[in-house]
């Protein structure tokens, strides 16, 4: 490790001494500095002292004095004197006249010569003299330290702090600092009670502070110290002295604390108390103990088992310290078998020097190897191996910094090692730098010479280090001992103070760079050019330097039009295509000179009016009426031309009128405020100057928005739309009408809404998406190229309304002999007008007369199909005629199968789709038939055509019979091809569904009749045109019964929905309805789960719903076990389609077979339901012990009398000891009635009991054996020993403590712990040491020793320290935890 040869000396040559004075006297301290006029400060307890009545401060040359006048006890303190970075501490002690003394030290005069301290301080192992140490080489500068520790003088027992500071501005990490005493003693391993090392870092100032604290210094602490700091390849060090003065020996009382001295300070056993120190202060009677005995010799020779005896005999109380010291002594006395003398701990050599490492071998024949940093050293010119007798030497020649390492020598299996420190000598400057003066552009160099080749030399300019780089203006060169700094083409910025620094000194030189005198060879000349010509300015100066061109004091930048040339001493400025803006004062300024060359350039141009921006051929300018027109016409000319505006023969002046003109250097403006229609016309402009004149004519046109149209008319109104018309405006504003905007609003509202965002170019519009039933108004805007006109007057208010859609799902609900009940669904669309009600109309089938005795099975056809055209029209009820017996044609009978049975759903007439229908009696699905809603619409097309249909044979129930069109083959059956052609025409016969009569026809007779029957044309069923209103008043219900109908008649029914807009289209039932009740045989639809036994427990509810069908309404009869059901015990409720049997609370008496009978006339259907109400069984009968042998007992019992109305599934057997009578289960679900119970305990007596079990569970009671079974041991009876009862008493103890937790506010939190103790302890809960009692927010639980505290919905205020305390007669204990309640965001 390199080490400097010199150190920074103290600023003081004489330091103040601590003194002791009496109260009221004067205390004087004096110090002497090394320099005259040095700045010295005095401090008391770290605060500056100012000269005044109390303190007198004097300074003369190098002498400095502090006088304390009229000393008081308050003046007793630590004082210090500061000069530069040197700071000396000293004490002022006060002596009290009453005999009490302070803790001060005697004055320097009372000290013996040996204690006054030494005036020179050298290293403890150094060889320097006092003169060498006191020399201070001002040329050495620290590269890392910004503040170094200073030498200090102090007294024994005092404290001192040495401070070193390192600037961290350029450091990437913390530097490494080491403190040494002497040359090699590293103080980091000695840190302890008396020595402390601290490190601080100031982030704002970026300074590392390293401190070494010496506490209660001892006399041997004095000496030379060194502080070293390293950072990467940088190194710095400084030395300082500490002089410790010895205090006078004064008798003091025994201090028991000082007797406990610590053994081995700074060693491995530092900190152990040595109690033997007490023996030194005891005054014991001197006895003749014979010759002195070395205790350590005894200990080394004794066995380890005798150590304690010897220590007790000779008064050694610190046994642990004794053993450590003895171990260390034994370790130190271990001798090497290979080495007679090992290497020294460390060696030091100067750089370039030669050193010899010597080791003495005990055995010269042993194999020896040398190592450097663990690598074996081979002989070379650098490393030479020598031997002399038993000595082995390693010679290192020409030592360098790379030789600074750890060296090791190995002899056989043993080794020893040392460290070699190579000290680098400072490099001095043997030839100083010389001040130099030069001119700009020339080359200069600086030269210095150092004492060593290859030295690290740094160059600085104005204190900033110069680095050698590719882009640097300077070049640094090294040639042996000489070092050069070159700068080519010098500039004024190169002037400054240049310095060179080595490790041994610094040299400075001043460099001054001046400008050469400048002469103007050719100046700039004034020139006049025409617009567009080239401007060429040229000048010549005596120096080849650059410069800048200025125009009107503004710097000129080079561009495509402006070129600047510099060739040697000539400078040229060329401006191509000159402009008027190029006129001005041009100046050339040479760089770095205060000389300017100036010239004027004048550009001339004839006047001209520029109208290129007016794109119109005739120079027309259009302005909107009411706007301000500012027409700026660019003009050019040099000098500036005069501008005149005219309208006709009238000149427009520059006055402040509505129409005025303004003139500017580059343009002229015509201004018209608030343009009017009369302002339209031709305006002329004329410009003139000395070079000529120019004129032009401009046409101005004033336009406006159109007038508003007239109020629009609403011609048609629909559900959410209307049609409106309007007329165009009378005046279009001078611009064609482009279109119209339409707006609407609700009449009660004031907010208009735009209906079209694209212009409407027509004069009619259809607003849509209006709310039905709301009054609206509309208005119109006219739009031209200028803008939008004002709105027209609103139209008259109108309300969009529409009738509802037709009702849906019209179907027959019920039919009797005199009534027909229809049902339907409301319309799909009702609209804003709402729904007031429904109108139901009916009419009889055309061409037939109702006859209840008619047995005819076929339906006559309609001869005129055009009658279907008005099926959807609403007819006046007064025009509808009722059918009577007088107008009934009994010769024509209607087949009953053509009538619609109840439950058939009518197909919607407007859907155009087919609707599947079902036969009411059979329930089978029929073929789909087309909707008849289009019949009315197609009536005109079918007018004049006769539609006939023929039934080839009787139709089976649910089938659709063929309808044969009339006129094909004379009504005879035709082929499928012909029939397909006929059906392609829109015939109404397809709209009717014909089915078999429900009363049934003998199939054989029908087939026979069909063969014998004559094929004749048949008529299609159709309604008459006389519709009768069934309800005089509107009905709001969706079900209606038409009364007073003749039995056997066939009617058509239709329904209309009515609102404020009128009646909707009718919904027509497409098939005729036969007014005759149809008998339907009864049928019970028994649910699947009731086809098996229905089981319920006692007390449960029985609610059974059994659906059935049949017409007319069937009669329902319930029987239980052949007897009518008692309605007081069982509730029976019947409806048209189902029956309900209800038992609110079932009992076992409700069990049985229930028979349901459904009757319609003489027809009936039956179903049986088996209901079983079960309960738990009774106990078994007579449980008795049959036999007892060994450890077994045999039991028998009888089944219970009451099995709970369910089968017994098993038994549960239990046993109980006669002493405790606690029952334990032996076996469960046992199905037999006898059992043998094994593994009974000898000597015990047992009782047994049995439970019976069924599907409901165990019996409530059990049957117990009357006698007990005693298990006896055969042979010698067993006598129970007498044991002492165990004491289970125990003080409370928590086996699981409380755990600190975090709870969420609003959610319950629990704290848990477990405790044991006997007797059972009482539990108390506390919050923050306050007992929790009767607080509804807290709930406590204690189960099996687990204690729980529940906090209901805690808040942040419930956080704190919770504790649980357990207490019984034997003691108490407590645990606690912390609960934190957080509020979720």
Reference 855, options 1026, 636, 1009, 1042; nearest CA is 1009
Q: How far apart are CA 910 and CA 927, in angstroms?
A: 20
Return the C-alpha torsion angle 43, 45, 51, 57, nearest 10: -50
Tokens 């041994």, residue located:
504
Average pLDDT, integer, range 590-597: 86
Q: How far apart are CA 459 and CA 467, in angstroms?
A: 8
1106-1141 pLDDT, tens digit per residue, is 999 888 889 999 999 889 998 888 999 999 899 999
Query: Is the model more confident about 796 or about 899?
Result: 796
Tokens 């140490």, residue located:
133
Q: How far apart are CA 197 and CA 186, in angstroms?
A: 12
**Which tokens belong to 683?**
């305006």
**Which tokens belong to 1247?**
């009782």
The whole-number pLDDT of residue 874 equals 35
1044-1088 pLDDT, tens digit per residue, is 899 888 899 999 999 887 888 999 998 899 888 878 899 999 999
Number of alpha carbons in the 13 Å side-chain half-sphere of residue 1079:
9
Count the Cβ atoms, other than its own, within 10 Å of residue 1226: 19
Q: How far apart are CA 403 and CA 1195, in angstroms?
A: 106
Q: How far apart are CA 552 and CA 559, in angstroms?
A: 18
Reference 274, options 286, 255, 257; nearest CA is 257
**Is the CB of residue 780 less than 8 Å from the CB of residue 772?**
no
Query: Is the model more confident about 302 or about 1339?
Result: 1339
The pLDDT of residue 824 is above 90: yes
Rounded to two decimals, the pTM is 0.30
Q: How far apart are CA 424 and CA 164, in angstroms?
A: 23
The whole-number pLDDT of residue 401 equals 83
**Which tokens belong to 739?**
């279109």
**How far, in Å, are 25, 57, 70, 74, 105 from residue 21 at the CA level?**
7, 19, 10, 13, 10
**How far, in Å, are 30, 462, 464, 700, 1082 from residue 499 at the CA level?**
40, 8, 9, 82, 130
The whole-number pLDDT of residue 1142 equals 94
The pLDDT of residue 1317 is above 90: yes
How far the first Cα of the chain sits from its last, in Å, is 62
Q: How far apart are CA 258 and CA 277, in angstroms?
A: 8
The pLDDT of residue 1217 is above 50: yes
Q: How far apart are CA 218 and CA 194, in angstroms?
A: 9
The whole-number pLDDT of residue 650 equals 86
Q: How far apart are CA 499 and CA 503, in angstroms?
A: 13
Reference 805, options 986, 624, 1050, 1058; nearest CA is 1058
Average pLDDT, integer, range 330-341: 68
**Mean of the per-residue pLDDT values of the chain:** 78
CA 9 to chain centre: 64
Count the Cβ atoms, other than its own, within 10 Å of residue 218: 13
The whole-number pLDDT of residue 1277 equals 66
Q: Where are the beta strands (DSSP E) in 23-76?
A: 27-33, 40-44, 47-48, 55-60, 63-68
Average pLDDT, integer, range 72-78: 86
Q: What's the sign of the alpha-carbon dihedral 1090, 1095, 1096, 1098?
A: positive
CA 499 to chain centre: 59
595-624 pLDDT, tens digit per residue, is 889 999 988 888 888 888 887 777 888 888
The whole-number pLDDT of residue 335 equals 66
Give the percent of the chain with pLDDT over 70: 79
Lowest-pLDDT range of 311-315, 872-876, 1209-1213: 872-876
Q: How far apart are CA 828 and CA 849, in angstroms?
A: 36
Average pLDDT, integer, range 688-717: 87
CB crowding 264-303: b at 16 or more within 10 Å, else e: eeeeebeebebbbbbeeeeeeeeeeeeeeeeeeeebeeee
Before 1187, cis peptide (omega within 30)?
no
Return the C-alpha torsion angle 308, 309, 311, 314, nearest 10: 170
DSSP string for 792-846: PPPPPPB----PPPPPEEEEEEEE-SS-EEEEEE--S---TT---EEEEEEEEBT
How confident is residue 257, by pLDDT bands cut at 50, 70 and 90? very low
The whole-number pLDDT of residue 1300 equals 92
The pLDDT of residue 290 is above 60: no
The whole-number pLDDT of residue 26 equals 86
**Which tokens belong to 503?**
């490790």
The pLDDT of residue 936 is above 90: no
Give the 3-state secondary structure of 920-986. CCCCCECCCECCCCCCCCCCCCCCCCCCCECCCCCCCCCCCCCCCCCCCHHHCCCCHHHHHHHHHCC
**How far, in Å, are 921, 952, 997, 1053, 1336 from residue 897 at the CA level?**
11, 16, 4, 18, 81
The whole-number pLDDT of residue 1000 equals 37
């Amino acid at each position: 490790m390199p080490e400097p040869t010199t150190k920074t000396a103290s600023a003081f040559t004489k330091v103040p001494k601590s003194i002791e004075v009496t109260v009221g006297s004067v205390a004087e301290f004096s110090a002497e500095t090394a320099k005259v006029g040095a700045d010295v400060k005095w401090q008391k307890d770290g605060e500056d002292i100012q000269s005044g009545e109390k303190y007198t401060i004097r300074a003369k040359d190098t002498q400095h004095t502090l006088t304390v006048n009229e000393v008081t006890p308050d003046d007793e303190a630590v004082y210090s004197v500061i000069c530069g970075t040197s700071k000396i501490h000293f004490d002022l002690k006060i002596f009290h006249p009453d005999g009490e003394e302070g803790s001060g030290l005697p004055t320097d005069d009372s000290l013996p010569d040996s204690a006054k301290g030494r005036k020179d301080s050298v290293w403890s192992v150094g060889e320097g003299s006092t003169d060498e140490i006191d020399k201070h080489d001002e040329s050495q500068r620290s590269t890392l330290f910004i503040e170094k520790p200073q030498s200090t003088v102090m007294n024994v027992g005092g404290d001192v702090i040495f401070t070193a500071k390192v600037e961290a501005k350029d450091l990437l990490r913390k530097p490494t600092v080491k403190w040494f005493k002497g040359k090699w003693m590293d103080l980091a391993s000695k840190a302890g009670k008396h020595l402390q090392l601290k490190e601080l870092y100031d982030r704002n100032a970026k300074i590392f502070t390293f401190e070494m604290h010496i506490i209660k210094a001892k006399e041997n602490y004095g000496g030379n110290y060194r502080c070293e700091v390293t950072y990467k390849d940088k190194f710095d060090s400084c030395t300082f002295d500490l002089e410790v003065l010895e205090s006078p020996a004064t008798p003091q009382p025994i201090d028991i604390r000082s007797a406990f001295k610590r053994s081995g300070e700074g060693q491995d056993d530092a900190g152990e108390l040595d109690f033997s120190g007490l023996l030194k202060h005891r005054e014991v009677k001197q006895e003749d103990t014979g010759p002195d005995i070395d205790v350590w010799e005894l200990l080394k020779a004794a066995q380890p088992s005798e150590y304690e005896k010897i220590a007790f005999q000779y008064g050694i109380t610190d046994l642990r310290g004794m053993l450590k010291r003895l171990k260390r002594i034994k370790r130190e006395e271990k001798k090497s078998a290979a080495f007679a003398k090992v290497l020294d701990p460390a060696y030091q050599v100067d750089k370039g020097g030669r050193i010899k490492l010597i080791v003495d071998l005990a055995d010269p024949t042993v194999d020896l190897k040398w190592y450097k940093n663990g690598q074996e050293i081979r002989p070379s010119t650098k490393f030479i191996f020598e031997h002399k007798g038993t000595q082995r030497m390693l010679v290192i020649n020409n030592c360098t910094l790379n030789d600074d390492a750890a060296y090791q020598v190995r002899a056989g299996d043993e080794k020893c090692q040392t460290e070699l420190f190579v000290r680098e000598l400072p490099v001095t400057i043997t030839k100083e730098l010389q001040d130099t003066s030069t001119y700009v552009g020339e080359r200069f160099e600086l030269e210095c010479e150092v004492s060593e080749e290859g030295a690290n030399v740094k160059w600085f300019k104005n204190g900033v280090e110069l680095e050698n780089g590719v882009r640097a203006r300077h070049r640094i060169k090294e040639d042996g001992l000489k070092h050069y700094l070159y700068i080519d083409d010098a500039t004024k910025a190169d002037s400054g103070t240049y310095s060179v620094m080595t490790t041994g000194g610094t040299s400075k030189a001043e460099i001054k760079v001046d400008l050469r005198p400048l002469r103007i060879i050719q100046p700039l000349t004034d020139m006049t050019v025409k617009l567009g010509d080239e401007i060429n300015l040229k000048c010549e100066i005596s120096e080849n330097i650059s410069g800048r061109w200025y125009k009107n004091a503004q710097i000129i930048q080079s561009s495509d039009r402006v070129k600047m040339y510099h060739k040697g001493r000539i400078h040229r400025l060329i401006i191509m295509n000159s402009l008027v803006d190029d006129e001005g004062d041009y100046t050339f300024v040479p760089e770095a000179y205060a000389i300017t060359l100036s010239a004027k350039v004048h550009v001339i141009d004839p006047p001209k009016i520029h109208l290129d921006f007016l794109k119109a051929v005739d120079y027309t300018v259009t302005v909107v009426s009411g706007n301000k027109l500012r027409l700026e016409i660019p003009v050019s000319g040099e000098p500036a031309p005069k501008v005149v505006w005219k309208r006709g023969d009238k000149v427009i002046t520059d006055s402040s009128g509505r129409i005025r003109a303004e003139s500017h250097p580059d343009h002229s403006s015509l201004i018209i405020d608030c343009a009017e229609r009369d302002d339209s016309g031709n305006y002329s402009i004329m410009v003139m100057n000395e070079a000529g004149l120019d004129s032009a004519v401009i046409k101005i046109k004033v336009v406006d928005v159109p007038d508003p149209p007239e109020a629009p008319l609403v011609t048609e109104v629909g559900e959410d739309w209307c049609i409106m018309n309007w007329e165009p405006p009378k005046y279009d504003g001078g611009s064609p009408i482009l279109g119209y905007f339409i707006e609407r609003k609700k009449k009660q509202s004031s907010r208009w809404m735009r209906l079209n965002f694209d212009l409407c170019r027509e004069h009619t519009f259809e607003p849509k998406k209006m709310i039905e039933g709301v009054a609206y108004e509309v208005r119109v805007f006219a739009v031209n190229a200028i803008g939008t006109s004002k709105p027209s007057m609103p139209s008259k208010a109108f309300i969009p309304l529409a009738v509802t859609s037709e009702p849906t799902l019209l179907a027959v609900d019920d039919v009797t002999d005199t009534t027909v009940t229809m049902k339907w669904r409301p319309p799909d669309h009702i609209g804003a007008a709402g729904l007031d009600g429904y109108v139901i109309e009916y009419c009889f089938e055309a061409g037939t007369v109702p006859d209840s005795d008619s047995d005819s099975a076929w339906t006559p056809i309609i001869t005129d199909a055009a009658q279907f055209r008005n099926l959807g029209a609403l007819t006046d009820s007064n025009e509808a005629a009722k059918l009577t017996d007088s107008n009934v044609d009994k010769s024509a009978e209607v087949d009953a199968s053509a009538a619609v049975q109840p439950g058939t759903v009518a197909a919607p007439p407007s859907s155009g789709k087919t609707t599947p229908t079902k036969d009411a009696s059979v329930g089978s699905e029929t073929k789909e038939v087309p909707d008849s809603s289009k019949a009315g619409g197609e009536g005109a097309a079918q007018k004049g055509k006769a539609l006939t249909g023929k039934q080839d044979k009787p139709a089976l129930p649910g089938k659709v019979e063929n309808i044969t069109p009339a006129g094909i083959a004379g009504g005879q059956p035709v082929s499928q091809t012909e029939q397909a052609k006929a059906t392609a025409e829109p015939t109404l016969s397809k709209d009717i569904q014909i089915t078999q009569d429900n009363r049934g026809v003998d199939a054989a007779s029908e087939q026979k009749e069909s063969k014998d029957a004559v094929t004749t044309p048949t008529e299609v069923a159709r309604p008459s045109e006389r519709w009768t209103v069934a309800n005089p008043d509107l009905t709001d219900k969706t079900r209606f019964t038409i009364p007073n109908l003749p039995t056997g008649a066939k009617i058509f029914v239709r329904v209309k929905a009515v609102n404020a807009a009128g009646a909707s289209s009718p919904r027509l039932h497409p098939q005729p309805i036969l007014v005759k009740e149809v008998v339907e045989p009864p049928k019970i639809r028994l649910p699947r789960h009731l086809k098996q036994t229905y089981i319920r427990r006692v007390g449960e509810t029985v609610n059974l719903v059994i659906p059935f069908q049949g017409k007319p309404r069937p009669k329902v009869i319930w029987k239980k076990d052949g007897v009518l059901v008692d309605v007081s015990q069982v509730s029976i409720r019947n409806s048209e389609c189902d029956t309900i049997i209800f038992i609110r609370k079932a009992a076992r008496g409700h069990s049985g077979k229930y028979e349901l009978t459904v009757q319609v006339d003489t027809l009936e259907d039956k179903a049986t339901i088996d209901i079983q109400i079960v309960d738990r069984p009774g106990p078994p009968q007579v449980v008795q012990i049959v036999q007892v042998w060994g450890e077994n007992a045999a039991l028998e019992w009888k089944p219970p009398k009451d099995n709970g109305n369910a089968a017994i599934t098993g038994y549960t057997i239990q046993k109980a000891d006669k002493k405790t009578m606690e029952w334990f289960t032996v076996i469960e679900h046992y199905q037999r009635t006898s059992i043998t119970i094994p593994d009974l305990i000898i000597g015990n007596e047992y009782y047994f009991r049995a439970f019976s079990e069924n599907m409901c569970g165990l019996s409530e009671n059990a049957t117990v054996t009357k006698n007990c079974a005693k298990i006896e041991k055969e042979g010698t009876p067993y006598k129970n020993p007498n044991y002492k009862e165990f004491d289970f008493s125990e003080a409370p103890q928590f086996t699981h403590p409380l755990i600190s937790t975090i709870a969420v506010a609003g959610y319950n939190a629990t704290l848990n712990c477990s405790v044991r103790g006997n007797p059972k302890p009482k539990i108390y809960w506390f919050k923050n040491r306050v007992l929790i009692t009767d607080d509804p927010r807290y709930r406590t639980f204690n189960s099996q020793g687990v204690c729980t505290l529940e906090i209901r919905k805690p808040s942040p205020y419930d956080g704190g320290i919770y504790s649980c305390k357990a207490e019984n007669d034997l003691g108490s204990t407590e645990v606690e935890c912390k609960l934190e309640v957080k509020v979720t965001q």
